[in-house]
Structure 1
Amino acid sequence: MLSQASITKKRKRADSTSDHLNVSIYDKSPSAVGPVLATFSTLEPPKSTAFSVYAPPQRPRKDKSIDGSTNAVQAQEEEFSRRSLALAGETDTVEFYATGEAAAAQRGCRYLIGIRNKRTNTLLLRPSPLQILGRRVKALKDLVPLPSTSFSLSEQARATERMEQRAALGETFGTQKAQKALRATERDRMDVSAMEDVVGHIQESVELGTKSLPTQEEAKEISDSSRQIPKFNLDATRPEDVYKLHDIVPSSELRAVPIKDLQNAFPEQRMGCIPGPFRHSEWMKAHLERVFASGEKPSKRTLRILMYIAILLTFRAGAPRYCANRSDLEERLPGVPSIIVDGIYSRFTETVRGSSATKFTSDNAVRLLTHVFALCLRVDNFASDTALLASDLRESVTKVNPHFKLLGCKIEKLSAAEMNRLRLPAMAAEQKRAVLRVPLEFPKARARRRAAA
């Protein structure tokens, strides 16, 4: 047993570390580069976005000597939090830049960032500059808005002359009802002569305005870049190079997928190791049997891909509830590292503006399924059975096929050579599959026919 004196000493030591917090302000080297406080007025960048701080060079101050001559004196280094700085960063599609509004926001106040050391129970306050960032879409920054313009009115003048002649005939030979309609049309007619002075300016502006419109190729590039699909390579010569595995799921997350229980499980227990609704998937069951029945050591990468697909679909099954309470998802995914859960939330959810709450939008749902199907294509040798996947997801084939088409797949029957390559039975020849071919072609938008008048 411990003596009363030793218990008292331990209690005093614990109290001394928990009750007293030492607060200090960092003043060793105020000019040293430190943290920057940034606020985003519209769109928040992903956590992996890199930012750089830029500052103008410090000029030496000039002092006048006794005889009136001017000498350059080396300037004393200015405090980092008070310097004129510019913060900038970018993603694949958006640029973030300093708006220049920080100076007005900092007037009359200072911002400090606190860094707490739990071991020593100290709080270090570091002065920090404030930066207010805006955003610019890369694909649209080269488009220059031009003033609106008009067109020539010669055709309209000739049409007005014909209407006047018809009105004269109607007044002379028309019925009472026709004459009433002509008078109503005359009251509603516009006086085009009032626009004669601006016709030339309007026509010139139309010609200039059409120059800023994107070409068909540029419009296609903008449309492709906004697709809710993984990063793709249009110049790929092999299907496996269209969507790189590390562009679908980060390598750090894929390496963290737990597969030890799946490797050590008996055949009848393997499906029990799959989390979420895909535990009863026929597609998953067929692929697990194929991996373990190859006669060789099971591919760890394939097992991790299959497990990651199940993890994504588990999140999809209860996304609205998991966005409100993340702990529910962690309970459904026991043993899954937090790096995977963090990655799912960062890529497939959005933060509600003005709060820290997250939501799962329709765009997020499309993006999640296209990532899942891109992984399915890799496991299926780029020819997936959409009917089987639709049955496992409890969706119709007509809802699943468009997601594969977004990835550039064609829904068609396989040739005899492809059947042999995939080692499929003859009965599968009449069944359509989603096939990814190169060169990659995305579906074209259908032109809607104008309804008949």
Structure 2
Amino acid sequence: MSSAPSARKRKRGLSDAREADSIIIDLSGLPDTQIGPVLASFPCLTPPVNTPFEISLRDEDEGTEFIKRASTITGETGSVEFSGSINDGSDGAGSRYFLALHRPGSSKLILQPAPVYIVSRQVKAHKNFRPTEPGNSEHFQARSVLGKAFGTKKAKAAINATERNRVDVSAMEDVAGVLQDRIEEGTENLPTQEKMEDLVNAARLIPAYNADAEQPEDIYPLHNIIPEPEWAAMDRLLPMLKNAADDHARARLLPNARSDWLRRHLMLAYSSPKPKAKIAKMLIYTSMMFTFLGVARRVVPDRTTLLERLAPSPEVVVDGLLSRFTETPRGSTKPQMTSDNETNLLTHLFSLCLKVDDYATDTTLIAADLKMASTKVNGLFRSLGCTIRKLTPQDLKRLGLPDSAGQEKHAILKAPLTFPKPRLKRRA
């Protein structure tokens, strides 16, 4: 009785060995592009057996072998989401995985290639959770604790000093309302932005202007540049200029005979048989302003010397220039020309040049006559509301200038008057 079971066991073992020797390994006959079984690895949390999963494939890889297509597998339970993806299924490197299928009683072992997904999980309740970033106070508190525990004596002293000097904001809550009321009381009388602009424009070192003018000639009225008594006093100089032998002699009759700008405009003014008296008087006055600037820029000479240097200027013109463009310091009897006086004189001179030039003045020529940098001259013209640019063909035609004049930049005044905006300093 005891030998029967062992005989049966030996027979089954021999049968199994023979069966194993006769198994044939073969690959699956499913098309390569057909979706087949997959393998999934769950390193963190294994879902219940009945959890459904779906596979999403990238449309661009259609027609490619299934195990080489980029794909994603997703599934979820009531509280957890699972997902895994394969971005590159190429088998150029690494390992390939197969699923083996063996039916009982069959001598074949079918191998089916299968992609492998490393599946991660996301708890639904924590999906939209974002950790709170620590604020400056938390950072400072943590650094203070570390500094007190491990810092040097100098670092600890600095931490203690910072803590002593820290303002307790909570202690100011009771007085915040009082401070706000006082601030409102103190600022209610402050000027508005429009009033501030008006105050700034009124303090500009330029002739008195008409901000509502609709034509350039009305922006700076003539008698805001040349007072009427001085304008009338120059009538007696007109016959002298008209009777001059030629342009060279005519220029030498005026105080400033070296100005190229003045000589050119005198020649143009007296090229016609009947020169305009208004243009001639403006040219005479610009000559006087040119000379007064050169004589009084450093040290203002006495009145007698000024009359000699500005001859044949009328006395009322010399006195007017002295009173408007110089000032006498306290405790002194000698007038002097400050930087503000000089700027004011230059802007009056330039506004008169604009009138002569039909509101398009060659700034390069003016800068050369004054021996000043073109940038400074252009800046003063901009303070009058001018734009600095080259003349267009339409401008040349309107002014009657040759095409060569379009190569030089001109200061152009147009209505309505617009002053340049102040430049804001960049933060370092």
The bucket for the TM-score relative to the shorter chain is 0.5 to 0.7
**Does the aligned pair in 2 maintain the 1:322–1:328 contact within 8 Å?**
no
Cα distance between partner residues in 1 of 2:155 and 2:287 = 73
Q: Report the CA distance between 1:324 and its aligned residue.
A: 4.5
1:186 is aligned with what amino acid?
A: E
Q: Report the CA distance between 1:313 and its aligned residue.
A: 1.6
Task: Please tell me whether residue 264 in structure 1 is matched to residue 266 in structure 2.
Answer: no
Task: Please tell me whether residue 301 in structure 1 is matched to residue 281 in structure 2.
Answer: no
**Does the aligned pair in 2 maintain the 1:412–1:434 contact within 8 Å?**
yes
Cα distance between partner residues in 2 of 1:323 and 1:293 = 37
Of 217, 225, 228, the match for 2:194: 217
Q: Report the CA distance between 1:210 and its aligned residue.
A: 3.1
Cα distance between partner residues in 2 of 1:264 and 1:321 = 36
Identical residues among aligned pairs (%)? 46
Where does the alignment leave 5 or more consecutive residues of structure 2 unmatched?
A: 1-134
**Does the aligned pair in 2 maintain the 1:312–1:372 contact within 8 Å?**
yes
Q: Report the CA distance between 1:175 and its aligned residue.
A: 7.0
- Count of matched residue pairs: 291
**Does the aligned pair in 1 maintain the 2:299–2:337 contact within 8 Å?**
no
Q: Which residue of 2 aligns with 1:351?
A: 328
Q: Report the CA distance between 1:363 and its aligned residue.
A: 0.5
2:351 is aligned with what amino acid?
A: A
Q: Which residue of 1 aligns with 2:206?
A: 229
> Can you list the C-alpha shifts for 1:122-168, whole angstroms capped at 9, x where unaligned?
xxxxxxxxxxxxxxxxxxxxxxxxxxxxxxxxxxxx97687446523
Between structure 1 and structure 2, the one with the greater Rg is: 2
* RMSD across aligned positions (CA): 2.4
> Can you list the C-alpha shifts for 1:37-95, whole angstroms capped at 9, x where unaligned?
xxxxxxxxxxxxxxxxxxxxxxxxxxxxxxxxxxxxxxxxxxxxxxxxxxxxxxxxxxx
Task: Please tell me whether residue 443 in structure 1 is matched to residue 423 in structure 2.
Answer: no
Distance 1:366 1:171, change over 3 A: same
Which runs of structure 2 are paired with 1:322-333 in the superposition (5 Å)? 323-333=300-310
Of 389, 403, 411, the match for 1:412: 389
Of 227, 239, 264, the match for 1:286: 264
Which runs of structure 2 are paired with 1:283-432 in the superposition (5 Å)? 283-294=261-272, 296-319=273-296, 323-432=300-409
The DSSP-based 3-state class of the residue aligned with 2:300 is helix
1:293 is aligned with what amino acid?
A: S
Cα distance between partner residues in 1 of 2:297 and 2:415 = 37
Cα distance between partner residues in 2 of 1:430 and 1:322 = 38
Q: Which residue of 2 aligns with 1:21?
A: none
Where does the alignment leave 5 or more consecutive residues of structure 1 unmatched?
A: 1-157
Which runs of structure 2 are paired with 1:74-93 in the superposition (5 Å)? none
What TM-score results when the alignment is normalised by the length of structure 1? 0.60
1:431 is aligned with what amino acid?
A: E
> Can you list the C-alpha shifts for 1:162-209, whole angstroms capped at 9, x where unaligned?
744652354346677654542332244345666555433212112333
The DSSP-based 3-state class of the residue aligned with 1:280 is coil
Cα distance between partner residues in 2 of 1:292 and 1:190 = 78
> Can you list the C-alpha shifts for 1:264-293, whole angstroms capped at 9, x where unaligned?
111131111120xx3111111111111111
Q: Which residue of 1 aligns with 2:87?
A: none
**Does the aligned pair in 1 maintain the 2:292–2:310 contact within 8 Å?**
no
